[in-house]
């Protein structure tokens, strides 16, 4: 499974002549920049990124060691049944508490099963009331989206969802559970590498 965080949440849509002009730019013209254009970016880099807020996990003791930095992909690895999905759903709630917008693409769990887990963690108990359900859905409005598809999935569809969620919904974090549902074979290591490489490019862009 993996998480993506958008580097720059969208600030608006380009329209008309501005968009047409952007499309006319060739890739070399768009990527060859004067050194001075990197001034502020370099200052942040030299200071170790201080001054830019990074999202963290829900547990305070991890804050000094783990951050979800913009434009990066995090891969959560472990054996089947080791609790990756359970931990990550808790992390998603923590991201939402920090004002992050999240979409989950779970190809192994239906939305109903995801909500069972989310609301138990949100309420802090196994058996929760209808009031707790309403509180969760009200609180999650504008913070959480679910992509409803189970089983194997075409990689192009995953890429399209990532781009749509960022551009149209302002989503900053995409959770994919699991990456293997988008790669045909467990031993297709080149396929896994290429898929993660493509996700990394989307996160950075």
Which stretches of 124-204 are DSSP H helices?
130-139, 155-169, 189-204
Paired sense of beta strands 102-106 and 173-177, if any: parallel
Predicted confidence at residue 41, as pLDDT, reads 84
DSSP for 62-104, please give it. GTTT--B-TT-EEE----TTSSHHHHHHHHHHHHHHTT--EEE
* Contact (CB, 8 A) for 143 and 96: yes
Q: Write the CB contacts of 183 (distance below 8 Å, at least 6 apart in sequence).
A: 155, 191, 192, 195
pLDDT at residue 145 in the model: 97
User: How far apart, in Å, are the Cα atoms of 165 and each of 27, 50, 158, 202?
Assistant: 24, 27, 11, 12
What is the helix (H) or strand (E) element at residue 150, kind and residue range? none
pLDDT value of position 5 = 67
- In angstroms and rounded to an integer, the radius of gyration of the C-alpha atoms of the chain is 19
pTM to 2 decimal places = 0.74
Which pLDDT score, from 0 to 100, does residue 54 have? Answer: 87
What pLDDT is stored for residue 179 in this prediction? 85
Evaluate whether 2 touches 85 at the Cβ level (below 8 Å): no
Give the pLDDT of residue 14.
Answer: 46
Residues of the chain under the 70 pLDDT cut: 1-30, 48-52
């Amino acid at each position: 499974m993996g998480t993506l965080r958008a580097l720059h949440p969208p600030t608006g849509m380009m329209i008309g002549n501005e968009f047409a002009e952007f499309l006319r730019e060739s890739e070399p013209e768009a990527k060859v920049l004067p050194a001075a254009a990197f001034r502020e970016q370099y200052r942040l880099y030299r200071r170790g990124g201080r001054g830019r807020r990074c999202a963290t996990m829900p547990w305070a003791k991890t804050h000094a060691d783990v951050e979800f930095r913009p434009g990066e992909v995090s891969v959560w690895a472990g054996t089947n049944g080791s609790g990756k999905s359970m931990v990550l759903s808790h992390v998603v709630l923590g991201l939402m508490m920090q004002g992050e917008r999240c979409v989950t693409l779970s190809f192994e769990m239906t939305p109903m099963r995801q909500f069972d887990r989310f609301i138990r963690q949100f309420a802090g108990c196994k058996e929760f009331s209808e009031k707790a359900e309403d509180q969760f859905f009200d609180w999650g409005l504008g913070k959480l989206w679910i992509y409803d598809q189970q089983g194997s999935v075409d990689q192009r569809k995953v890429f399209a969802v990532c781009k749509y969620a960022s551009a149209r919904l302002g989503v900053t974090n995409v959770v994919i559970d699991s990456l293997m549902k988008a790669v045909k074979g467990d031993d297709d290591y080149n396929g896994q590498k290429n898929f993660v490489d493509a996700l990394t490019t989307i996160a950075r862009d």
